Structure 1
């Protein structure tokens, strides 16, 4: 069997949307200055432990929709651009797929976690 024949008889690997979603979520949670997506209900912040990511795989291409928070006073444009670049590069590297679009929605700005409580 020649190399060409061998390549033509190989199967394909399919990467599920959920697998890409989990990879992207892990990558975002490890980024500096980025946090979970939070919602507001009746004026109160609700939830927000993890970024919300929706991944859609179509053939060899991936589209990511990301909802996250940015640590104040970090620059929102710089933080989201860094997140977009890192997701594009690392998801492609880990999955072998082409990340054609990363849409990021910033749901809130969050204060820096100091680790200590303040009493007023």
Structure 2
């Protein structure tokens, strides 16, 4: 049986910006009070800004570093400032953990505030 070549001689793994953007969008939905955003073309929303839409994300990978941008909505009455700070920290940690990349910047745009989901309480 032959001994495998050292890891540094076998090649390298390159993670595309598209893959990192998908990871970012998924990780953003792990945060309480965060919803999705409508896609945009030429700055115009495609459809409504429903909370159940996916988070829109972009990623620019440069070597081992990445810059993230996320467009999301926040469920009222959650604080927009606290929610975006939690989202920024979570995305920095989670995307770094899953990709091994150094997340150097996270830009967040809040596209809408949504009312809380109606409760499923029933009166008998």
TM-score bracket, shorter-length normalisation:
0.7 to 0.9
Number of residue equivalences: 107
Bigger fraction of residues in helix: 1
Matched, 1:64 2:68: yes
Structure 1 residues 12-91: aligned runs within 5 Å: 12-38=12-38, 46-48=48-50, 49-91=53-95
Q: How far off its partner does 1:38 sit?
A: 4.3
Give 1:107's aligned residue. Answer: 111
Moved more, 51-60 or 30-39: 30-39
Separation in structure 2 between the aligned mates of residue 7 and residue 101 of structure 1, nearest angstrom: 30
> CA contact under 8 A between 1:38 and 1:108: conserved in structure 2?
no
TM-score by length of 2: 0.78
Please list every run of 5 or more consecutive structure 2 residues that lacks an aligned counterpart in the other structure. 40-46
RMSD of aligned alpha carbons:
2.0
Q: How far off its partner does 1:10 sit?
A: 4.0
